[in-house]
Structure 1
Amino acid sequence: MVRSLAQWTKTLSFPARISPQKHQQHQVTAPKSECPVISASTGPNNTTDIYPDPDSEKAIMGSVVYCIHHKEGCKWTGELRKLKAHLNTCKHDAVPCTNKCGAQIPRVLMEDHLKYTCPQRRARCEFCGKDFTGHTLENHSGSCGFEPIYCENKCGMKVQRRHLTQHKAAECSKRLVPCRYCSKEFVADTLQVHHTKCGRFPVACPNQCDASILAREDLDLHLKDQCPVFGICCPFRDAGCRFKGNRYALEKHVDENTKHHLERMCFVVSKQQHQIASLKSTLSRMSLNYSGTLIWKISDYTSKLAEAKTKEGMELVSPPFYTSQYGYKLQASVFLNGNGAGENSHISTYIKILPGEYDALLRWPFSHSVSFTLFDQSSVPENACNIVESFIPDPTWKNFQRPSKEPDSLGFGFPRFVSHEMLKKRNFLKDDTMFIRVKVDPSKIVAV
């Protein structure tokens, strides 16, 4: 590109280090010589009045300047007279596009321009291999039929754009396809799994009878009511009968073996009765209390007290409990309306020794201390005041000797354990329920 001196000087910058005066930049200006006006008397032959002073022009052309592209990154500096030669090679200087698209492009960007942005560039589509100019290539990109793209059904396959429609219709593993048996639609790659469960999927009779192919959902009904060769087990098979045959043979078998089947059922019932008795015994042993302490809950106190007042000698007995797994077997009893000295005014409490499985191994007479505790059910446990009575058995008393198979009707205890009036003063009764603890202690310590 050819530039005039005036074009250069409009964009020139001079380095401060070459300024003829310190801290000032040298500005390119015309020399301050007077230029006389050309007149008719002077004539055009006086050239010194028309052209600048040669010395001033020489000084200007010898000035050191930056390249006019120094803001774009060019580092060149030199005399003004050499600027034109430098611009002929400066990589930041704009030159016409070599493809003649009409654009002025810096030399440093020319390669990218010719390759990517020049409208007249020639480029080949990487997918179909055809050549295009710049504008037509941009229109072609994104529509090339040979470009591989991912299936829109997200099956993970890349297919050429021209084959995508066929792929989605016939090949895609995520396309929806109808089951040929039940007509419901499923994703293609799950269809085989569906066939293993489809109710209308055709299956053959496992007995290889003459029936035609059946739907899976109809197979059970066929085997149960229709298959002529299905081997049906005898209804008394749980009783031990091993017969198996088709329904016609089965009917005959049942009619001819009634006595045999009845004998087998009687045997099964007898066996089950023994098993039930054994289980009940085991369950009873598992539910027994072997701790030596019984917490006895007596509910519906009001109705039971009223009943005790109408029935003389009405006694409530607790579940039996043991002092240990192989210890003494005991049982507590309560007379809500009293007994003996406490009749009609107190609650009486007693303890009985029952015949146990290990009495032959125990020491007699029974000598453990026994305590009865009536719990105060106060809402503030710190304020509770329980009633406690205890005793140590007298070894001479017959109630503490080894019991016979028929235990004594009365045990040993406290006829006046707690009065009916005392029950009303505190929270011994709550929700019409009382709790009595019976504790047996082998250390013979009496509760106070």
Structure 2
Amino acid sequence: MYEMPVGLVFNISSEGLYTCPENTVSLDYAKIYPDPDSEKAIMGSVVYCIHHKEGCKWTGELRKLKAHLNTCKHDAVPCTNKCGAQIPRVLMEDHLKYTCPQRRARCEFCGKDFTGHTLENHSGSCGFEPIYCENKCGMKVQRRHLTQHKAAECSKRLVPCRYCSKEFVADTLQVHHTKCGRFPVACPNQCDASILAREDLDLHLKDQCPVFGICCPFRDAGCRFKGNRYALEKHVDENTKHHLERMCFVVSKQQHQIASLKSTLSRMSLNYSGTLIWKISDYTSKLAEAKTKEGMELVSPPFYTSQYGYKLQASVFLNGNGAGENSHISTYIKILPGEYDALLRWPFSHSVSFTLFDQSSVPENACNIVESFIPDPTWKNFQRPSKEPDSLGFGFPRFVSHEMLKKRNFLKDDTMFIRVKVDPSKIVAV
């Protein structure tokens, strides 16, 4: 089969004339094929359709090509709507329906008929097309009603409060009204006053409302009077003595309560463990003072041997007492009158120990000073105390010397710690 290249096939115009494929110049058929035999051979050549690249499968003699092109679905023909476009027959239906500028189409929103070109201009401007509100309220509104919707219906439009004139989003205005200071409210006492602004109501009730029931300023003292401000003024003027008596009663009651609270607080802060850790600070200044004041004694906070036990108190003479005067620190323990003395066994018979802590930075190297004693039941110091306890108690006049204090870390930051411990397991038989 001879394939004539498409580029060498002479074009045939609609008038049946041949034109040059290179420059479209009209050609005389007789001059193209001067030899009938050559013409017959050429016109009998088998060729492809000029649209075979677009998908046409036709092949045949060259003389039949023109007839085939009259029916070839890939050959371009003028648009039947006369829009001026050359459209392949196979695409003509879609062109007429969707892309032809001269096609007839109906707007789906307003129902009017348009040509294809005018429909494109009409789309996006049709007043009947529903579009979302620009304020993002979630509503779809026809374009022709959008301005009215945004001005009067949109829940996200800005509207002024009719009372305070501030602007709010429309769907929050009701919430604002519950707090707006200028919102009109009526007096809860139903007085003759006109409608008030919410922010003015408190002042009205306090100073202006003629029927507002104001409590007597001595209400906390027990006065139950309640009336308007005019009656209240008269009540206060006429009941001065009565109010004063009530206030005196309240003050007396409060004093008893304060005393009770102090007593409770004092009991809560007491030590019931039987062990006292006594911190003595400012040792240097207190020792100097003790040297100038004879018999200067430091006393510890009271403590108990148990919750219902003996009440004790430690004392220290920094400059010594008795045999330790001017050379030692003396330590003593006193038995104080306690709340439960009537239930305890007498004489006091628990062992007592005093410990001066060595405050070494290495605990393993610490060397504490410890002194202890077991009470002698015959001594007066350990009998049940009277209202006035023994002035000295019992202990160690030469507990630790002033020289010894300097040799180790018994003093640190001018502070010493003394532990007084009562051991109930070591009891003397009587």
- Global fold match (TM > 0.5): yes
Decide whether aligned partners of structure 1 residues 137 and 273 sit closer, same or farther in structure 2, where only a CA change above 3 A counts.
same
Q: Residues of 2 paired with 1:336 and 1:102: CA distance?
A: 126
From the superposition, tell whether residues 93 and 226 of structure 1 become closer, same or farther in structure 2 (CA, over 3 Å). same
TM-fit CA distance, 1:320: 1.3
Q: CA deviation at 1:273?
A: 1.8
Say which SS state the counterpart of residue 414 (structure 2) adopts. Answer: coil
Write out per-residue CA displacement over residues 214-239 of structure 1, whole angstroms, 9 at most, x where no aligned residue. Answer: 22222222222222332222222211
Superposed displacement of residue 381, structure 1: 4.3
Moved more, 327-336 or 50-59: 50-59
Distance 1:374 1:250, change over 3 A: same
Relative to structure 2, which stretch is displaced further, 289-298 or 430-439? 430-439
Q: CA deviation at 1:384?
A: 4.1
Change (3 A) 1:192 1:381: farther
Percent identity, please: 99
Q: Is the 8 A contact 1:317 1:331 kept in 2?
A: yes
- The 1:138–1:265 alpha-carbon spacing in structure 2 relative to 1, beyond 3 Å, is same
Secondary structure at the counterpart of residue 427 of structure 2:
coil
Give, in angstroms, the shift of residue 426 of structure 1.
3.8
Tell me how far 1:140 sits from its aligned partner.
Answer: 2.9
Instruction: Please state how far the C-alpha of 1:45 moved relative to its aligned partner.
Output: 30
Q: CA deviation at 1:410?
A: 1.6
- Whether contact under 8 Å (2:4, 2:46) holds in the other structure is no
Deviations 1:276-304 (A, max 9, x none): 22222221222222222222222232322
- Asked whether the 8 Å contact 1:123–1:131 carries over to 2, the reply is yes
Partner deviation per Cα, 1:126-168 (whole Å, 9 max, x = no partner)? 3323333444333333333222222222222222222222222
- How far apart are 1:196 and its partner, in Å? 2.1
Please report how far the alpha carbon of residue 72 of structure 1 lies from its aligned counterpart in structure 2 after TM superposition: 8.8
CA RMSD between the two structures: 6.2
110-119 vs 321-330, greater mean Cα deviation = 110-119
How many residues were matched structurally? 411
Change (3 A) 1:54 1:232: same
What is the rounded CA distance, in whole Å, between the counterparts of 1:104 and 1:89 in structure 2? 15
Aligned to 1:86: 68
Please tell me whether the aligned partners of residues 199 and 215 of structure 1 are also in contact (alpha carbons under 8 angstroms). Answer: yes
Residue deviations 1:88-117, cap 9 Å, x none? 999999887776656677888777666554
Q: Secondary structure at the match of 2:18?
A: coil
Stretches of structure 2 lacking an aligned partner (at least 5 in a row): 6-15, 25-31
In structure 2, do the counterparts of structure 1 residues 127 and 443 end up closer, same or farther at CA, with 3 Å as the change threshold? farther
Q: State the alpha-carbon separation in 2 of the partners of residues 427 and 45 from structure 1.
A: 121
TM-aligned CA deviation for residue 411 of structure 1: 2.2
Relative to 1, partners in 2 of residues 1:301 and 1:94: Cα closer, same or farther, differing over 3 Å?
farther
1:139 paired residue number: 121
Distance 1:126 1:419 in 2: 114
- Range with bigger deviation, 260-269 or 55-64: 55-64
TM-score of the aligned structures, taking structure 1 as reference length: 0.73
Looking at structure 2, the residues matched to 378 and 304 of structure 1 have their Cα atoms a distance apart, in angstroms, of: 23
Distance 1:387 1:85 in 2: 135
> Which consecutive residues of structure 1, in runs of 5 or more, have no partner in the other structure?
1-33
State the Cα deviation string for residues 351-402 of structure 1 (Å, max 9, x = none): 2222222223333333333333333444454554443333333333332333
Cα–Cα, structure 1 residues 115 and 41, in superposed 2: closer, same or farther, change >3 Å? closer
Q: Distance in 2 between matches of 1:235 and 1:53?
A: 138
Query: Distance between the aligned counterparts of 1:42 and 1:432, measured in 2?
Result: 127
Query: Aligned-pair distance for 1:407?
Result: 1.5
